[in-house]
Amino acid sequence: MKTRKLEQEEKLKQSTDQLSRLNVQLHEKYSQIEELEKRVQRMEKEKKSLEEKKRFLKGKLHQMMSNAENTKSCVDVQMEISTLQEQISHLNHLIHSQHQNLHSMIQQIEELNNELKSQDERIEILKEKIEMLQAKNKELKDKVEFYSGQSKPKASKGVSARLDDGLPYAMLSRLRK
C-alpha cells in the first residue's frame, strides 16, 4: 500500500509540475497576445493616419486639376498618393497577418486551458486515490495493531495418563482381565 501511495504521490507531483508549466505557458501566451493587440492597434492607427493624408492629397490634387496648375506638381501629388496607397496596402496585409497570428494564439490558449482542465481533473483523481490509499493503509495499521495487541489463546497440551507403566498394551490387558 505504501508503495502504491508513493507511486500515486509521484504521479501527483508530476501532474502538479505539468500544471505549473502549463500555467507559465498560458501567461506567456497572454502576454504575447497583449503585445500583438498593441501592435495591431498601432498599425490600424497608422493606417488611419495614412488614409487621412491620402484623402487630403486627393482633395489637393482635385483642387490643383480644377485650377489647371502645373502638371509636374500634379504628378508629384499623384506619386505621393500612389506611395501612400502602397503603404496602406502593405499595412492591410500586415494587419491581416497579425489578426491570423492573434487567432492562432487564441486557439493555442484554448488548447492550453483545456489541457489545464484535464490536468486539474487528473490531479483531483490522484488526490482522491492517495486519500483512499491513506485510509486503507490506516485501516490496515489499525487491524494489525488490534490483532497484535490481543492475547493469543493458549493451545492445550496433550496430557498422558500413566497407567501401569504407561503402555497402552498394559492397559488393554488389564481391561481384558
Domains of the chain by residue range: 2-151
Q: What would the pLDDT profile of 61-108 be if each residue is shown by its tens digit?
A: 888 877 766 777 888 889 999 999 999 999 999 999 999 999 998 998
The span from the CA of 33 to the CA of 109, in Å, is 10
Amino acid 102 reads: L
Please compute the mean of the pLDDT values over residues 121-134 and round it to a whole number: 87
**What pLDDT does residue 92 have?**
94
Domain 2-151 CATH (choose: 3.30.56.10, 3.20.20.60, 3.40.220.10, 1.10.287.1700):
1.10.287.1700
User: Residues near 108 by Cβ (< 8 Å), separated by ≥ 6?
Assistant: 29
**What pLDDT does residue 47 have?**
93
Look at 53 and 1; give whichever has higher pLDDT: 53
Amino acid 54 reads: K
**What pLDDT does residue 174 have?**
65
Residue whose grid cell is 498593441 = 38
Please compute the mean of the pLDDT values over residues 25-30 and round it to a whole number: 90
Phi, psi of 75 (to 5 degrees): -65, -40
Amino acid 99 reads: H
Q: What would the pLDDT profile of 98-110 be if each residue is shown by its tens digit?
A: 999 999 989 988 9
